[in-house]
Amino acid sequence: MPVRDAEPGDVDEICALIEEHARYEGNDELVLDRAEMKGHLFGADPKAWVLISEPPDAPGTVAGMAFCCWNFSTWEARPGIWLDDIFVRPAYRRHGLGRELLAELRARTSGRVEWDMQADNRKAAAFYAELGALPVPGWVRYRWRPGA
């Protein structure tokens, strides 16, 4: 199943996937600025990158994505990947696309691949456990927002 790096022409689909994911999670308000996202992903100083998943029976169709950035572990002394968002459109689920996206991330680093998951998402927890991923015990994530 094809997984590829996103290109500038994918920005509309990337933003649509993020907005669809927001709706799926109950946020009906999110609307992204496509030009701003294009700058963040493909500008002179990119801040993130995206993998696109296309189903094998429909080349050119964007079925899902993994939205990522590089991180660095000082204790492991190597870069890793922060997976900020992974989303596969409902019509394309249960065909291995999420597994393919995560496998591609794993192949791109000898460091850690990390992400957050909502505490009550049992389907995702079962999926990640099946892949061999484990929750990180003893750590609590903090967030500091602008203006705080």
Give tens-digit pLDDT for 14-53.
999 999 999 998 999 999 999 999 999 999 999 999 999 9
Q: Are 9 and 2 within 8 A, CB to CB?
A: no
What CATH number should be reported for the domain whose range is 3-131? 3.40.630.30
Average the pLDDT over 46-74 and give the result: 94
CA 54 to chain centre: 15
CA atoms of 15 and 33, how far apart (whole Å): 8
Q: What is the pLDDT of residue 119?
A: 86
**Helix (H), strand (E) at residue 37:** helix 34-42
CA atoms of 94 and 140, how far apart (whole Å): 31
113-137: per-residue pLDDT in tens?
999 988 888 988 898 999 899 888 8
Query: Does residue 1 register a pLDDT over 60?
Result: no
| Number of continuous H segments (helices) and E segments (strands) in the chain | 4, 5
- The DSSP code for 49 is E
Q: Name the residue with tokens 């992903």.
A: 41
Q: What is the pLDDT of residue 76?
A: 93
Q: Write out the catalytic residue numbers.
A: 128
Q: Where are the domains of the chain?
A: 3-131
